[in-house]
Amino acid sequence: MKTRCTTHVIALLVASLSLSAACVAKDNATRPDEAGARAANQARFDAAVRGDVAALDKLLADDLDYCHSNGECESKTAYLDSFRAGAMKYRSIEPTVDRIKLVGTVAIILGHAHVNATRNGTDLNIDIGYTSVFAWRDGQWRLTSWRSLTLPPPAPK
């Protein structure tokens, strides 16, 4: 009786260790890391310049809050609609990344960018500071929060 009990416990222990090992292996294969967040950030800028709504749809989280430099925040749907309608058109975005922080399944990216765009008929040629927050979902980084602010033009030398 004792021998059978011991056998069962050992079998369960082995099974649970195998399960844990499988979980660790899976995590390592699709780990949310800094390089992936940086790549997703750049891919999002590139898709915006191309006006590639399909790519943006994959890169943006459904719960996106996209807050422009005037403080106005849009949902993912409203943001994508502005591309479809032609209200938002980027000619170029030259981004830099100053810092990336990983907090669990979230990546926070702080950076700057020079943006040349037309929004609602107004031409923009501005320098911005931005904060992107990416959430790790379904094995990929998706932008869940964006906030930018217009920086003052550099002082003349």
Partner 1 sequence: MKQRLVLVMTAALLTTLAAPLAAATPRGDEASARASVLARFDAAQRNDLAALDRLLADDLDYCSFRGDCLTKAQYLDLVRSGRLKYLSGNPSVTKIKMFADSAVAIGVATVTVIRDGAEQTIHLSYSAVLAWRDDRWQMTTWTATLLENPPK
Judging by beta carbons within 10 Å of its beta carbon (0-12, 13-18, 19+), is residue 70 exposed, middle or buried? exposed
Mask: binding to partner 1, 131-150, rule CB under 8 A, as x and -?
A: x-x-x--------xx-xxx-
Under rule CB under 8 A, residue 13 binds partner 1 = yes
Size of the site for partner 1 (CB under 8 A): 39
Tokens for 121, please give them: 């008929």
Phi, psi of 97 (to 5 degrees): -110, 120
Q: Which of 12, 22, 78, 87 binds partner 1 (CB under 8 A)?
A: 12
Least distance (Å) between residue 50 CB and partner 1: 26
Of 4 and 157, nearer to partner 1 (C-beta) is: 4
Task: Establish if 30 lies at the interface with partner 1 (CB under 8 A).
Answer: no
**Cα-Cα end-to-end distance for the chain:** 89
Q: Is 51 in the site for partner 1 (CB under 8 A)?
A: no
- By CB under 8 A, residue 2 contacts partner 1: yes
Between CA 50 and CA 103 the distance in angstroms is 30
Contacts for 105 with CB less than 8 Å, ≥ 6 apart: 32, 135, 136, 137
Q: Is 48 in the site for partner 1 (CB under 8 A)?
A: no
Spatial distance between the Cα atoms of 114 and 45, rounded to a whole number of angstroms? 11
Q: Exposed, middle or buried: residue 126 (CB in 10 Å: 0-12, 13-18, 19+)? A: middle
Tell me which residues touch partner 1 (CB under 8 A).
2-3, 5-6, 9-10, 12-13, 16-17, 20, 23, 63, 65, 67, 69-71, 73, 98-99, 101, 103-106, 108, 110, 129, 131, 133, 135, 144-145, 147-149, 151-152
